Amino acid sequence: MTKAEARKAAKSAVLAMSTEEKEWASGAICDALSGLPEFSLAHSLFIFLGTDTEPNTEEIVGLALMMERTVAVPRVHGKDMSAVLITPYTDFKVNKWNILEPVKGQIADDTDVAVIPLVAFDGLKRVGHGGGYYDRYLQNRKCLKIGIAFDCQRVSNLFAEDFDIPLDILVTEKRIITSDGEIENIYWEKLQ
C-alpha cells in the first residue's frame, strides 16, 4: 500500500469516529501509555500536541507535568521542528496547521522519549502527514519513539522508504505493538 493510499484510508476511518469515540479512545491511549515503564520512568518527554483527527494529548502532557518530568512540545520553523520546553504557565499560539505551539521557550537538548503522531500505521511503520518534520527531527536522536494512534488508522502492507524512521512502540486504544510483537491493551480487554 502506498503512503497516499494509507493516508486516505486512515483519514476516512478517523472521520467516521464520533467525538465520544475519539474522547474515549484518547483516554484509553493515555492510560495505556502512562502504564508503560518506558514512559513512566522517562525523565524528559517530547510530546506532540494534536488536532481533532488525532488522539488528544492534553491529558498525557498534564500527567507528565504533574509527575514533574521535563516536557517539550514541537514548534515548527520553516522545514524544521524544535522541541520547546514547557511548564503549566507556558503561553501558546495556533500555527498555520491549527496546532498549538509555545510562543517562546528554551529548546530541549535531548529527550528520553518522543511521543509521535501519525496518520496511518502498519506494525511499527508509520506514515505522517507528508512534511517529514518528525523524520528529520528524529534522524540523529537517541530517544525511544512511541507512536500513538486510533486503532482504525491501522493499514496493511504499508510501503516504507529508507528515510522513514520506524517506531519502537505503538499504542492504540486496543493494542500495544513492540518489536517483540503485539499485545491487546489491558484497558480494552476489560471492556470485552
How large is the average pLDDT for residues 115-127? 94
CB-count burial class (<10 Å; 0-12, 13-18, 19+) for 6: buried
How large is the average pLDDT for residues 147-163? 91
Residue 97 predicted with pLDDT over 90: no
CB-count burial class (<10 Å; 0-12, 13-18, 19+) for 68: exposed
pLDDT category of residue 90 using cuts at 50, 70 and 90: very high
Rounded-to-integer distance, Cα 76 and Cα 162, Å: 23
Q: Which CATH architecture has domain 3-189?
A: 3-Layer(aba) Sandwich (3.40)
Report the share of the chain in percent with pLDDT over 70.
95
The strand pairing partners of 74, in sequence order, are 83
Domain boundaries, given as residue ranges, for the chain: 3-189
Residue 175 predicted with pLDDT over 50: yes
pLDDT category of residue 129 using cuts at 50, 70 and 90: confident
Report the share of the chain in percent with pLDDT over 90.
70
Rounded-to-integer distance, Cα 40 and Cα 54, Å: 22
pLDDT category of residue 185 using cuts at 50, 70 and 90: low
- Cα torsion through 11, 75, 143, 65, rounded to 10: -100
Query: Strand (E) positions, 18-98?
Result: 44-47, 70-77, 80-86, 92-94
> Which cell numbers hold the place of 44?
524528559
pLDDT category of residue 192 using cuts at 50, 70 and 90: very low
Question: How many residues are given for the chain?
Answer: 192
Residue 186 predicted with pLDDT over 70: no
Mean of the per-residue pLDDT values for the chain?
A: 90
Q: Which residues contact 141 (CB under 8 A, 6 or more apart)?
A: 110, 111, 114
Query: Strand (E) positions, 16-94?
Result: 44-47, 70-77, 80-86, 92-94
Measuring CA to CA, which residue among 80, 184, 180, 166 is closest to residue 122? 166
Residue 9 predicted with pLDDT over 70: yes
pLDDT category of residue 132 using cuts at 50, 70 and 90: confident
Per-residue pLDDT of 20-52, as tens digits, reads 999 999 999 999 999 999 999 999 999 999 888
